[in-house]
Amino acid sequence: MKPELIPMTDPLDFIMIPVDQNKSFQSRIGNPFLEETASNIGKKIALFGTKYENFICSLFSSQYRFYFDVDNQYILRKLSLLHTPIIYRGDWTLSNETSSVSITKNMHAPDLYLPLMGLVTLVLLQCLNIGINNAPQYISIYMINSFWKCLIISSIEVALMRILFFLFGNLKVSIIDLVSISNYRYCSLTTLFIFNLITYHIFWTVGTMYILLSQAVFVYKSTQICIEQQIQKCENSFEPTLALFLSLLQVGCSCLIFYIL
């Protein structure tokens, strides 16, 4: 006679058994209204994830990678142009090949690498200086606040530039080009900040006036490139006035950034 087998139950068997999560969740809730609400929330989260993924893919698409395609020689030439546009005697035009090749072929082509790196460097240097001096106004969130303030001012400036282009003949200029041209200022402001630290702010007035004047000249010349391209299509005669307004706007926004930082 065989001994009777006693059925054994493994307490961890439930781990290996597939469970329908939806049925389990519904059985726990038991309320159709809550089930429908949870389902709608899940669909919205999935839709948001899809839109976020599409945004990231478009952000790093070939259209925007074009503005980050720089090399060391281009950076050196561009920085020299930013800091000495007054004495630059070269041709302030864009070659036709820059529209399809790399921006490194022409030092006047707009890019986003230098504005972004200039902004990051300026904020980090300011935070480092405040931390070294043990200033009482230094707080951990100062860096984030500085980034947001600069970005808000830059966004307002670009919006005003678009409005000016619209008022002066409805000239259509790429927003990315305007962002690039207007935000090269952060490279100049970083240089001014380092210069003031080295000279102990002795020549602060002279250095500030020179940097602001250089920014105005650079924006005046750079926006003329965009304006001339549109004038050939629209036959508009407001080129000098519009470029002058944009250069004054650049100086005003730079002074505002000086004040908030």
Let me know whether 45 and 110 are in one domain. Answer: no
- Per-residue model confidence (pLDDT) at position 8: 52
Global pTM reads: 0.73
59, 88, 111 - which closes a domain: 59
Structural domains of the chain, count: 2
Residue-number span of the structural domain to which 106 is assigned: 71-260
Residue 64 inside a domain? The answer is: no
What parts of the chain have a pLDDT lower than 50? 2, 12, 14-17, 19-22, 24-26, 28-29, 97-99
- Per-residue model confidence (pLDDT) at position 211: 95
Joined tokens for residue 248: 């004054």
Residue 217 inside a domain? The answer is: yes
Let me know whether 131 and 213 are in one domain. Answer: yes
Let me know whether 141 and 29 are in one domain. Answer: no
Let me know whether 132 and 184 are in one domain. Answer: yes
Angle among Cα 246, 88, 228 to the nearest 5 degrees reads 45
Let me know whether 130 and 30 are in one domain. Answer: no
- Per-residue model confidence (pLDDT) at position 15: 46
Residue 207 inside a domain? The answer is: yes
- Per-residue model confidence (pLDDT) at position 94: 61
CA distance 23 to 6: 32
Residue 88 inside a domain? The answer is: yes
Let me know whether 132 and 52 are in one domain. Answer: no
Residue 41 inside a domain? The answer is: yes
Residue 197 inside a domain? The answer is: yes
Let me know whether 27 and 95 are in one domain. Answer: no
Residue 199 inside a domain? The answer is: yes
- Per-residue model confidence (pLDDT) at position 97: 45
How many other C-beta atoms can be found within 10 angstroms of the C-beta atom of residue 8?
5
